[in-house]
Amino acid sequence: MRYLIRKQADVNTSDYDKRTALHVSSACGHLEVVQFLLANGADVKRLDRWGHSAIADAMNEGHSTIEQTLRQTGMSGLKLNPNVYCPGEVTVLLMDIKNFTQSCSKLTARDVGDWISTFYTIVNQTARQLGIRTAEVRGDCCICVTGNMHNAPCGRLRSGASPDDQVTRMLLFASTLHKHLLIATPRITNVRMGIAFGDAAFLLDSEFISVHGDAVNMAARMESHAVSGMALVHVSASDRWARETCTHDQPRCILIECKGKKQQAAAIYDCTNQMFCDTMPIHYDI
Measure the N-to-C terminal CA separation of the chain; round to a whole number of Å.
40
Q: What whole-number distance in Å separates Cα of residue 269 and Cα of residue 256? A: 15
Kind and range of the H or E run holding 214: helix 214-225
Q: What whole-number distance in Å separates Cα of residue 33 and Cα of residue 1? A: 9
Residue numbers of the chain with a pLDDT score lower than 70: 2-3, 5-8, 74-82, 206-208, 260, 281-286
What pLDDT score does 144 carry? 96
> 130, 173 in Cβ contact below 8 A?
yes
Residues 6 or more apart in contact with residue 188 via CB below 8 angstroms: 181, 182
In terms of Cα–Cα distance, which of 170, 201, 202 is closest to 94? 170
What pLDDT score does 212 carry? 83
Q: What whole-number distance in Å separates Cα of residue 67 and Cα of residue 61? A: 10
User: Is pTM, for the whole model, over 0.85?
Assistant: no
Q: How far is CA 10 from CA 1, 72, 137, 180, in A?
A: 11, 22, 29, 45
In terms of Cα–Cα distance, which of 223, 211, 212, 213 is closest to 264? 223
Bridge-based pairing of strands 230-234 and 191-204 is parallel
In terms of Cα–Cα distance, which of 210, 189, 168, 193 is closest to 286? 189
What pLDDT score does 276 carry? 96
What pLDDT score does 76 carry? 43
Instruction: Kindly list the structural domains of the chain, giving each domain's residue range(s) and its CATH number in brackets, ordered by start.
Output: 2-77 (1.25.40.20), 83-284 (3.30.70.1230)
Bridge-based pairing of strands 141-147 and 209-212 is unpaired
What pLDDT score does 153 carry? 86
Q: What whole-number distance in Å separates Cα of residue 149 and Cα of residue 134? A: 12
* Average pLDDT of the chain to the nearest whole number: 86
What pLDDT score does 48 carry? 81
Q: What whole-number distance in Å separates Cα of residue 172 and Cα of residue 195? A: 12
> 135, 143 in Cβ contact below 8 A?
yes
In terms of Cα–Cα distance, which of 148, 136, 171, 131 is closest to 89? 148
What pLDDT score does 169 carry? 98
> 133, 159 in Cβ contact below 8 A?
yes
Q: How many CA atoms lie within 13 A of 236 on its CB side?
A: 19
What pLDDT score does 7 carry? 63
